[in-house]
Chain A
Amino acid sequence: DAGVIQSPRHEVTEMGQEVTLRCKPISGHNSLFWYRQTMMRGLELLIYFNNNVPIDDSGMPEDRFSAKMPNASFSTLKIQPSEPRDSAVYFCASSLGGGQNNEQFFGPGTRLTVL
């Protein structure tokens, strides 16, 4: 398996623009997670899905952020409008099944820079 796939790997945009990050989980995994990593706050969970359904979005910072999972093999994280403070590395992870003892496997991340 190719592992968790994220695109783009790097994104540079201007303040106010819409940004869409994409993730393809490992085939067969039915839990998907979006994280954000910054120097100041470390790794933070933004939202996670089980069987394509959002379960916990308490980490989503504000209404400018939204995430969707239209099917088991694809998810998006959208920021509209983007702001410089959104600059971070965004990771997608997936795990097998809904069991709480399943390991999470991470993608390579998308490095977002908002100017």
Chain B
Amino acid sequence: KQEVTQIPAALSVPEGENLVLNCSFTDSAIYNLQWFRQDPGKGLTSLLLIQSSQREQTSGRLNASLDKSSGRSTLYIAASQPGDSATYLCAVKWGGGNKLTFGTGTQLKVEL
């Protein structure tokens, strides 16, 4: 069964700290992996998309890596800020269609 897991479910860090969010998936034959941010009561904002042929993608203070062989992706956030507080979701697309399978998310709180 194709599943996506995110651990921990919640994380609290002090402002300025660099942090890593983890995503693991059961079937390494992915097509791509997408990281999203969700603020309370809001929709999802796409942060980064990594294709299966790529190892990483960067956008500003965010860097996402992909290791298909181990079934893992990480989202690195540099110099965290209180505005980064949100739930971060990863979603995997396996071959054969446009379906995204989501993890349950990591709720991040960056404290002053």
Q: Which residues of A contact B (CB under 8 A)?
A: 4, 31, 33, 42-45, 48, 50, 55-56, 91, 93, 95, 98, 100-101, 103-109, 111
Q: How far is the CA of A8 from the CA of B104 in the complex (A)?
A: 25
| Min C-beta distance of B94 to chain A, whole Å | 9
Q: B68 in the interface, Cβ–Cβ < 8 Å?
A: no
B residues with CB within 8 A of A: 31-32, 34, 36, 41-46, 49, 51, 89, 91, 93, 95, 97-105
Q: Which of B34, B42, B99, B101 contacts A48 (CB under 8 A)?
A: B99
**Contact A48/B98 with A101-B31, A104-B46, A108-B43 known, Cβ cut-off 8 Å:** yes
CB of B105 within 8 A of CB of A42, answer yes
CA distance in complex: A43, B102 (Å): 6
Which residue of B has the minimal Cβ distance to A44?
B102
Bound state CA distance, A50 and B41, in angstroms? Answer: 28
Closest chain-B Cβ to A105's Cβ sits at a distance in Å of 6
Q: Tell me the nearest residue of chain A to B102, going by C-beta.
A: A43
